[in-house]
Amino acid sequence: MPGNVLSITVRDCYPRVLEHIISTQPPQVLCRDYKEILGTLDIISTDPEADEEEEAKQKVDQK
């Protein structure tokens, strides 16, 4: 795989997911569920499978 290929990881999507949640949910839901929302995003951003995929892509890009 060439090094100039754009690879999108779960971490790359984190800000867009958060922006989507904020823009689509009423303030009452955000206030009530913010800890759960952020906790879910933290789990996604620290997913071991995503880490392995990112490491594999970095190794390929370095070649």
The confidence band for 21, taking pLDDT boundaries of 50, 70 and 90, is confident
CB distance 37 to 30 below 8 Å: yes
- The string of pLDDT tens digits covering residues 24-45 is 888 777 777 777 777 776 665 5
- Closest by CA to 9, choosing from 63, 48, 62, is 48
pTM (whole model) above 0.85: no
